[in-house]
Structure formats: C-alpha cells, structure tokens
Structure 1
Amino acid sequence: METSGIRAKKNIFQFRRAFYNMGVSYAYLKQNDSAEYFLNKALAIRDTENKEFKYFIYNTLAKVYGDKNQHQRAIDSLEVVLNEAAFKDNRLRADMYKKLIASYKALNNKEKYIEYSEKLIELEPDVKDNNLKGINTAVSEEQKNVLDKISDKEGHNQLLIISCGLLILIGGISVVYINQKRKKEKLIYQNFISNLEKQEIKEAFEPKEIIQLEIEEKEKASFSIPSSAETMILEKLDKFETSTKFTNAKLSVASLAVMFKTNPTYLSETIKKHKEKNFNNYINELRINYICKQILERPEFLNYKISYLAEHAGFSSHSTFTTIFKSVTGISPSVFLREADKKRMII
C-alpha cells in the first residue's frame, strides 16, 4: 500500500511536470496562448509533496503575460509567490523582481519600478555596480539564451519531439492507471458474484428447523420479544425475501409490520438481531441483490438505463440507487453492467 501511495504521488508530479514543460516550450516559441493553457493545467493539479514547484509555474506564467502585454496579470502572478512566507529561493526571487521591474516600467508606475529595482540591488550585490538602465535591459535575457542558440526550424522540431515524448508519457501513465483500476473493479465484481451465489446455496440448503434454536440462544441477552412472535416474523421474512415486495418504493417498517400482522418494534428488533442490520440497510441490500440477479439472468437488463434499474429495484432516485449500489457491491452500477456484459460475451 505504501509503495502504491508513493507511485501515485510520483505520477501526479510527472503529470504536472509534463504540462509545465509543454507550457515552457510554447512560451519559448512565443505561442503564448498555448503556453498559458498548459501552465494553467499544471497549476490545477494538486501536489502536496512538491509545493515549491508551483513557484516556477507562476514565474513562467508571468513571462507569458508580459509577452502578451498583460502586465497587471504578470504582476498578480508574481505576487502570489512573493507573498508566501514559505518562498525562500532568492535566485528565483531575483528573476521575479526583474519581471516586476519590466512590468511596472510598461505600466509607467515609477514608484513600484524604483521599489523593485532597489530590492533587486539589495538581493544581488553584484548588481550594485550597474545602474537602473542596465537592469531594464537584463530583463528576460536568461530565458532567451536557449532560443538564441537554435533556429526557428530547430525550435519547432524540438517542440515536436518534446510534445510527442510528453504525450507518450501521459498516455502510458493513463493506460496503466485505467488498467489497474479495471482489474480492481473486475476483482470486486467477481467477489460480489461469488458471495451472492454462496448466499443462494446457503438459503436453499440450510435447514429451517434451526430458527427456533437460534432464537432460544439469542433470546437470553436481547430485547424481550415472545419467541413465538419472533419465530413467526423470521418465517415471514424468509418468504418475503423470495418475493419482490421489497421493490415497493413506499415500503416502510410500519407497512411491513402491518403485512406481517405484528408491531414495528418487534419487526425492527428481529431484523436487527438476526439479519445484523437495521431495517433500511436490510431492504436496500435485498433490492441491490435482486437487481444484480436480474442483470445477470436477463440479458435485456444490460441495455436499460440506470434510472430504470433504480426504479425497478424500488429506489426513489438515480443518485440514491447509485450510492447504495456501490456501498453494497463495492462498484458503481455502470461498472457492474460493463463486467456483466463482458462475462456474457465470453459465454
């Protein structure tokens, strides 16, 4: 489990890094809209293990905004990082100051222009020998060094190689993740079907005479229900479970008690003691098991919408059915239908 957790965290970082690299590549080629798209994709991925990586994303995003003459957006992006107490990277801070200086100059904000020029001088002692004019011309030079060494054609070829590599990486990770998820869902499906079949065999061959013995053993430490009433309720529950009366959406403990000619308290306590669940969970499990059997035994059910299956099983809404179905089986109705259809195709 620990290894899978580490792998999952690594995959998250790889996805985020892939989007970031795409954004950087497009930024260098001056395709700023594409760069902005991929950088925002990278920001949207939550990675609690590599929090500092977002600083580099915001810095590149600020460059993109600056190139698009959206200087206020560039400033806002940089301030997100600079306002964080955890941000300690002075080298990256200096680069951000340069971008702020360029943006404030473009906005003709002399006060902020001077403020960040002074901050940059304080941060980099070697800058003290340069005047403010020299600072302005230094903005973005570091980011342009790579492009200055290659032609536009080589840059496009490099982008294609990077893009293909990243797409293959993302596609490979996605395929592995989907395959692992589907294997897990198939195993859960198979285990549920196996348990369902075992339950049917048990109900078919288990002697009914033991009901009285179970009552006598449990009666000693339970709510005081007359043994005759408890036996009667259990016998009626057996018949009830083989019917489809539990698919009535309006069924309640009170209405079932009337049907059994007993009181709701006796019925509720008997279900709790012998079925080891409350009334609602008992009925919901009967409904889910019933609809699963219908799907397995009647191929036409594979083509029905989930809303119809919910109504047929006795649930008042699609969402309630989906939630309870997953709590009982461990998988969603759509996954169950998919696995049942695959099994039918094999047969």
Structure 2
Amino acid sequence: MVAKKIIFLLTFLIFTYLYSQEKKITNEEKKINESIRTSRKLANTDCQKALDQLLKSNHKSVALAYKKGEMDSNNLLMTIYYWKGDYKKVLELSKKTLELAKNFNDYEILADSYRLKGLSYSELGLNSYSLLELHKALNDAKKIKTNDSKYFKTSVIYSNIARYHKNLGMYKDSTRFYIKKSVSEVNKVADTSKYNNQKYQIIAFQQMNLGVIYSTEKNNIVAEKYFIKSLNIYKNSSKNHCLPKNEEITLLSEMGKFYLSQKRYKKAIECAKKAKEIEKIYPIPYIRKDILETLLKAYVRINDIPASKEFSEEYINLNDSLKKTGKKSIEALIKRLLSEQENRHKSNLLYILIVNFIMLILIFLAIIFWRRKKKHLFKNDENVVKILPDKDEIRLLDNQITASQTLHVPNTSRHLQNVITISENTIQSILVKLDKFEKSKKFLKNEISLSSLSNSLQTNPRYLSEIIKHYKGKTFNNYINGLRIQYIIDILNETPIYREYKISHLATVAGFSSREVFAIIFKKETGVNPSYYISQLKKNE
C-alpha cells in the first residue's frame, strides 16, 4: 500500500514538472511572438534597432526549437537585410525560411521569401534566377486563403515583376501591364484591413513608377504630374496612413534624376538633398550612390566647384566601397550556385547509375528466366533471344541518352562538319564564370589572353573560345575590347573628372598597350574617336 502511494506521488511530481516546463516554454514562445510583432512595427522607424531585436528573437527561437518563431523572425530579417542592401544575407536566410514555411504550409511566408530571394538575385544582376523566384512567389500568393492578404501579396509581386521588366527596358508593354495588374489587385484590399498603410504605399510607389516611365518616354508634363501625386501621398501620410521613410528616399532620388534630365538643376538639388537627409536616418547605400551622383552632376552643371568636389570625393569613396562589397557577395553567391549545380549533377549521375544497375539486374533475371524456359520451350528459343537486347544495343541506347544531354556548338573556324561537343553543365559553369569575370573588371589587365583566361576559369581555350563566340557573338579579342571600351564609356559618363584625363591615361586604365590601339578600338566600337566623344560630353554639361 505504501509502495503504491510512493509511485502515485512520484508520478504526480513528474507530470507537475513536465506541465510547468511546457507552460514555461509556451510563455517564452509568447514573448518571442510579441518581440517579433514589436520589431515589425519598429522596422519602419528604427531599422537597426528592429534588426538587433529580431536577431535576439531568432536565437531564442532556435535555442527553444520554436520553429514558428524561427520562421517568422527569419522572414522579417530577410526584409530588413534587403532594405539595408545586404542581398547575400537575404539569400543565406531564404533556404531555411522556405524549408520551415513549407512544413507549416504558410503560403504568406513562402510568397514573401521567394519574392525577397528573387529581388536579391535581381540586385546582384542574376536576372534569370530572379524572374523564376518571383513566379514561384506569385503561385504561392494565389493560394493564400484570406482575401485581403491574397490581394495585397499578389499586388506586391506584380509590382516586383513590373520592376524586373522595367530594369530590362521593357517600358511600353510588360512594365505597364504588370503595374496595372498590381494596382488592380491592391484596389481589392479593403480600406479597413490591416494592409491600409501598405495599400497606399503601393499606390504611391506605382505613381512614382509611372512618373519614371513617362520621363523615359520624354512625356515630361505627365511624368511630373505622377511624381507630385506620389510625393503628396507621403506628405499626407500622417493623416490617413503611415508610410515608411525609406521609400520616400527612392521617390526623391528619382525626382532628382528627373529634374536633372530637364536641366532644372535647383529642383534636382532640392530633391536630392531631401533624400540625402532622410537617408542618413534610414541608410540605403545603393540609393545614396544615386543621390550623390545627382548632386555631383547638378553642381557641376551650375559651376559650383567646391560643392562638386565635395560630392565627387564622397561619391567615389562610396562607389569603391560598394564595388568591394558587391564583389564579395557575388563571389560567395556564384560559389553556392556552382556547388548546387555540382550537387544536382552528382544526384543525376547517381540516378543514372542506379537505373543502369536496375536494368542490368532485370536483364540478368530475364536471361535466367529464359534459360529455364529453354528446357521446356526449345522451339521458342530463337524468338526469346530476339526479344532480349544485346550488349551493343544497350551501349547504343546509353550513347543516345548521353548525346541527348549535350549541346553541339559548331566550330566555325574549321570545316562545317567538325563540331565540338560540350556538356550543358560545362556551358552553364563557364557562362557563370564569365559573368563573374565581367563584374570583377579583370578584363582591364593588359596581359589578359585566351590562354590565361581559360586557365583562370579552369577550362580549355577551345571550349572558352567557342562559348564566347556562340553566346557573346564575338571573337575573344573583340569580346575583351568591347568590355574595355564599355567600361571607359561608363566611367566617362558617371565620373566627370575622367573627362580631363589624357587619352593615353584612359588607354592605360582600360588595359590597352598604346594610345593608338585604344583610339582605333574606341572608334570601331562607338563610331567616333575618344577625343570627340569627350568633347560632346563636355558640351552637354
């Protein structure tokens, strides 16, 4: 009897302890949820404080194995890192966030994560990956059950797809189409919903986009009308809705560019200075670069030398810093993409080996079965042998499968019958490496050659030459020269101080061996000699 009482007492104590622990964890989870909600509100006013608070919530969630807290904090961290221009961090977080969201069947988080992943790819210049992720986001957004959430999320994604097409220069058709889709969806959101602020944020953003489109089409009166409409929404935000300041920075930056193009330099400086003032509180380095460029060009045009020197130094320092950061991010990203591609290749190879192994087993079993039947069905022996494929046929089939997975690139330097067979994986790998090479500006090195570049990219010169010819449409020398001339054109347009340098110095910067060679290639690429090109830029100042 005493033993039973002791057992009962121990059981009671164990259950009491487990219940208290469960309640304790539940309370911790509630605290994490509240902290994430606070961070979400704080993100629009104090981005850094929200980030610090979210990182603590995320660490606690991981420590407690609280998956929902980890998912929610990850998703908001992706948003803040995107705002701060840390696209590498966004991509690093996306894998785990998507994995958690799939387990929870949370289509809102899935749509947001794919969207931010796609936008980060776009910022890093990987446009094909970007569009793929945005369409994944759109598919998941349409599965959201709550109408207001569904309409809002699809509107945001349509807006992002419009931006993607805008960046590719497709203003008249694709961009306008997706802007209209975005506005159409957001207008379905009720004014009483929790998305009221975001609804007007999208409307303001799309007004700005229309302003940019019309300014590109030289319809300046309509463009300014849309810019002012967008600005008024931000000015009245305290009355009807609260809009984030970081997007007002973008609007003012775009207005600065618009007025600069109209030679209304005082208005351009006014807008850019307002943007710079807000950007100090909500740092966005890539937009700061645009703001500084507008201020630099505007002050140069009105011959304010002290101001132009000040902003020139600030612009050059920031530009160099962004290039270093971007280079590191792209290198890490490309390594990850190549690693994923290699893993997929290994998986495919393993799959082929397994299939071939199974085929061999089946053939072996068929032969055994045939031999057993032979004793009883001697007359049908020859027919059975004909049904079974012989080794040559199997080898031919394997060769056909392998051939279907390769790309034949014609070698135009030899006879038309001669072709080089390059696997799809090798082509994609070399193209990714070429993209990295172009962004690294290594083509500016004077000693660059087909042999040295192929060694650097870990491929052979013949493959590299044919892929450049097939995908870039140029010989190796023309490809390198084209990159060098484009670099000089960009730097002459973006940094006025380079227009004062000697042609021989520009030739050295671009990697050419002499002034004469540089002048010949420049004229071949642009149709004019470098001196004339620079003189025309100075006239337009």
- TM-score range, shorter-chain basis? 0.3 to 0.5
Structure with the greater alpha carbon radius of gyration: 1
TM-score normalised per structure 2:
0.26
Of the two structures, which has the highest relative contact order with CA contacts closer than 8 Å and spacing of 6 or more? 1
